[in-house]
Structure 1
Amino acid sequence: MSKKQFFLGMLLAALIGGVVALAGVSFLIQPQNAGTFDEKQQASFVNLLSGEEFTIPDGINFVASAQIVTPAVVHVNSQVAIAPRVQQRDPIQEFFGFPDPRGEGGQGRGGQMPVSSGSGVIISPDGYIVTNNHVVEGATKIDISLENNKRYVATVIGTDPTTDLALLKIDATNLPFVRFGDSDDTKIGEWVLAVGNPFNLNSTVTAGIISAKARNIGILKNVENNLQIESFLQTDAVVNPGNSGGALVNLAGELIGINTAIASNTGTFAGYSFAIPSTLVKKVMDDLMKHGAVQRGLLGVNIQNVSPELSEYLNKTFPVEQGVYVGGVNDNSAGKEAGLKEGDIIIGIDGRKVNNVSNLQELVARKRPGDKVDVEYIRDGKTSNTKATLKNFSGDTNIVKREIPKTFTFEGLQFEDVKEDMKKKLDLSGGAVIKMNSNEAWKKAGARNGFIITSVISDSGRTRIANAQAMIDFLESSQGEEIVVLGMFPDGTEYYFEVK
């Protein structure tokens, strides 16, 4: 081969290499099918977004919203009492010197206090906090940690299992708080932030968008006469265990939802999370604050979503593709008095469009017994309107009030009266519940929060305990004596312990 041929060959190879390189670059900058990205390509894409070239679109400011909200989102730790594994101490075992089944010091493995961890949102400067009912359900003590690490013990003002909400109160003033926004104005595709304490990681902020509204995921089942309300905001902001009860806010830092649930096969975030809309939260909080119980206005109709499946099942053609089919009307109900009939299709409440059952339930749940709602419905192809006066579950318009239990304290012990539903459940005529216990002698003896004291034995004999005040009176008159405390845990397990 001559030198001339050699150089021509090298030049041709260089040209071909250049063309191939340009073609490769052209291919890489073309939009690729999402399914063709491997792990390294995805990592590179993320790195590119985090580079100096990437900027947040105009008008979006996550920083300002996070700074407003984070100080007002708290960490909620709820202690839940459980009974010892052994129902009663056996005097025969103790007589023959067998080990105390409660373990060393009488503490007992069964006397451990499991802790439920979640989040909460301060909604007023004087210490009212909203959280999920499932975060504090069964709690005998609720510890609140603020973002600045201040600690408080909270009192439960009221709970509502039908919406999975609870209202707490701490003794503090001038607290940072989150203002309520209007979840009705929230649009699908709108940016939102989720703030909470996932996996005990305090003050965690994640971002996402509103993915859908009025979602029913069937997480609240068989609660209080099947009056559960599920009309969740769905978002792709990352939410994990511990976020429950935390804030979902818009970019103005306004509360538009309380994070409640995730859809996951693993128990951790898999792309879908759900929040109770703020319009419903505000109504429930107002009720609990004013009355101690939620005031539910009911339409009194049996309802189903309009759907092709229902159309096929009933063998009838619906005049609309979306709406709520009335399958029946209860006697003495608001719907009955308003003239609603089986076969009607509800398409609106108070001028708002109704597409499904969740949507209808949320709109009605914002009302109270005695409130009037305008119901738009279709009957025999004709659209009509009627006014319905909502009633409560008892069939009247009375407001239900619940008194907040009064607590009594004595040397680090806090007692309250046994609630009526617990008396009925355990067939008790009275008793005193250990609400809080910071008395070391009682702790060592085996006293646990939530334990119900029914009687005590002292040198003067056995005394029945009718209520918390009676327990305080007994302790004040028996100081210095060895006493035996008898009672049971909330699950009915009987137990007793000795203390001085």
Structure 2
Amino acid sequence: MKRIGLIALAAFIGGAAAIGGYKLLETKNSEMLSFADQQKVLFANNPKISSAGAVDFVEAAASVSPAVVHIKTSYGSNSSEGQARSSSPFDMFDDLFGGGGGRRMQRMPRAASGSGVILTPDGYIVTNNHVVDNADKIEVILSNKRKVSAKVIGKDPNTDLALIKVEANDLPVVKMGNSDNVQIGEWVLAVGFPLDLQTTVTAGIVSAKARSIGILGRQQQGLTEEEYEEYRRTGKAPERANTSIESYIQTDAAINPGNSGGALVNTNGELIGINAAIASQTGTNEGYGFAIPINLAKKILDDFRKYGSVKRGYIGVSFVPLDADNADKLKVNDINGLYVSEVLPNGGGAAAGIKKGDIIKKVEGVEVFDSPDLQERIGRLSPGDKVQLTLLRDGALKDVKVTLKGDNSVGLNTSKLAEKSTGTSLSKLGASFEPASAQLKARYGVKNGVVVSDIEAGKLFDSWEIPKGVLITAVNGTPVNSAKDVESALPRSRNGMTTISGVGPQGRFTYSLTNGR
């Protein structure tokens, strides 16, 4: 037994010496090895992260295609939308995509045709806001070629999402996946009705995540591309504040006009995104498509069904995404994270003790590199929800709990912004309106509008949570400059919905809600 123990000890010592010698030689001679041989040594025992194996999209395509629908819209001859359209959805390409000019990021054309994804057997369908916005009539063509009319339940220009409903039962549905689990390089399928064709499935990979292309922000604010890039570079918010959320999944699966609102699914047939935009010089696919992550869409869609609009929570800070250039300008040593450039009074961030100069490093323990990383996470939450932020302050990390607040938590001193006049109360809305001053209209970059001067408890504006002091620019698509204009525009609702558009401290907004709610 003693002999066996000595043999084992000798073997152990010999093995340890051999390994130590190998490591020493490896260190000294690594530069003598080829790169390929060094890779073999470094990754000899590392398991593969993932592998697609034998790629087969048949099952995924078969399970998803029946639940992706064709959406056709029509517009009144008197509307600007109707005047912009003709029998072909391609007439707008030159205007929307630059017509041979420089390369531009643009949303897919707001054509008379798009796609949608059925979420429930009783007919709730998700699509893009720009597919159904301002439509007089929305028609859905199901996979069995049956045509049914649809009504808008809710829509949100900040995320370009919309929820519509058809009266039908036992419809096929697509299973929702988890967009947080999506990995760059994994196979995905885009399913929709591009170029007015029948159901079409294209394949590609995820080429990037949390991608912001600036299209929603520029549209909201009426910014030129140069103005938007200046805002992105400096973090200085324009007077026309931006509340858009862009954190797209980027894919090279072919996406063309008509794919808008369609499905982006993984190889398990799970819905991971809603196709929304392309980057193109010609107006057709050039290898860059963008989809709204389904984890962001889930919250927005739930709000549509519950309230008819989005209940959005805000931290109440402005920030600058850090990189080498911005860090140098701000004289900070860190090049990753979001530099807090302003803390809004009465906001959740101020209450939590966030200060100007703090750097947001993590949200709920997940590292933050750019603004979409934070905006998407916050976009999934509601007023009253709590979120943990990790801040870098004076060289030390600090965790703070922020209670998010709603649109009306951070307001302007409206007494100085509105002209003094007697507001006219409208019983239908439960609100009073005053003509907006030239100063206020100039501040928000609009040509018309009325200020909400008072709100009656229990009435529509109160239930919709439209805050006092915001500027209403249009009612049911009609520009307004007085309380009389508002009252005159109310009967012009479409699809049983009243649409209120305006702008406030948190940016532009549109409420589309069922009349009488």
TM-score (norm 1): 0.65
Q: What is the percentage of aligned positions where both structures have the same residue?
A: 48
Residues 401, 233 of structure 1: CA spacing in aligned structure 2 closer, same or farther, 3 A cutoff?
farther
Pick from 342, 350, 360: which aligns with 1:346?
360
Q: Give the structure 2 partner of residue 83 of structure 1.
A: 78
Residues 151, 348 of structure 1: CA spacing in aligned structure 2 closer, same or farther, 3 A cutoff?
same
SS in 2 for 1:274: strand
> How far apart, in 1, do the equivalents of 2:384 and 2:72 lie?
38
1:350 positional shift: 1.2
1:147 positional shift: 1.8
Q: Deviations over 1:462-482 (max 9, x none)?
A: xxxxxx99xxxxxxxxxxxxx
Q: Give the structure 2 partner of residue 495 of structure 1.
A: none
Pick from 317, 329, 332: which aligns with 1:317?
332
1:214 positional shift: 0.4
> How far apart, in 1, do the equivalents of 2:62 and 2:359 lie?
46
Structure 1 unmatched runs, 5+: 1-55, 86-107, 404-417, 437-449, 451-467, 470-500
Q: Give the structure 2 partner of residue 157 of structure 1.
A: 153
1:171-210 → structure 2 map (5 Å cutoff): 171-210=167-206
Pick from 134, 138, 148: which aligns with 2:134?
138
1:58 positional shift: 3.1
1:423 positional shift: 7.8
Pick from 58, 65, 86: which aligns with 1:70?
65
SS in 1 for 2:409: coil
SS in 2 for 1:70: helix
Task: Tell me if 1:379 matches 2:387.
Answer: no
Q: Does the Cα contact within 8 Å between 1:147 and 1:202 map onto a contact in 2? A: no
Residues 273, 112 of structure 1: CA spacing in aligned structure 2 closer, same or farther, 3 A cutoff?
closer
> How far apart, in 2, do the equivalents of 1:170 and 1:252 lie?
27
Aligned residues: 348
Residues 325, 147 of structure 1: CA spacing in aligned structure 2 closer, same or farther, 3 A cutoff?
same
C-alpha RMSD of the superposition: 3.2
1:205-216 → structure 2 map (5 Å cutoff): 205-216=201-212
Pick from 265, 273, 293: which aligns with 2:309?
293
> How far apart, in 2, do the equivalents of 1:322 and 1:84 lie?
47
SS in 1 for 2:487: coil
Pick from 115, 125, 130: which aligns with 1:119?
115
SS in 1 for 2:397: strand
SS in 2 for 1:223: helix
SS in 2 for 1:210: strand
Q: Give the structure 1 partner of residue 251 of structure 2.
A: 235
Q: Does the Cα contact within 8 Å between 2:121 and 2:173 map onto a contact in 1? A: yes
Residues 369, 154 of structure 1: CA spacing in aligned structure 2 closer, same or farther, 3 A cutoff?
same
Residues 329, 215 of structure 1: CA spacing in aligned structure 2 closer, same or farther, 3 A cutoff?
same
SS in 2 for 1:139: coil
SS in 1 for 2:407: coil
Q: Deviations over 1:420-461 (max 9, x none)?
A: 77484691524644857xxxxxxxxxxxxx9xxxxxxxxxxx
Residues 280, 401 of structure 1: CA spacing in aligned structure 2 closer, same or farther, 3 A cutoff?
farther
Q: Does the Cα contact within 8 Å between 1:346 and 1:376 map onto a contact in 2? A: yes
Structure 2 unmatched runs, 5+: 1-50, 90-110, 222-240, 412-456, 466-473, 499-514
Q: Give the structure 1 partner of residue 271 of structure 2.
A: 255
Q: Deviations over 1:255-288 (max 9, x none)?
A: 1000011111111111111000000011100000
Q: Give the structure 2 partner of residue 60 of structure 1.
A: 55
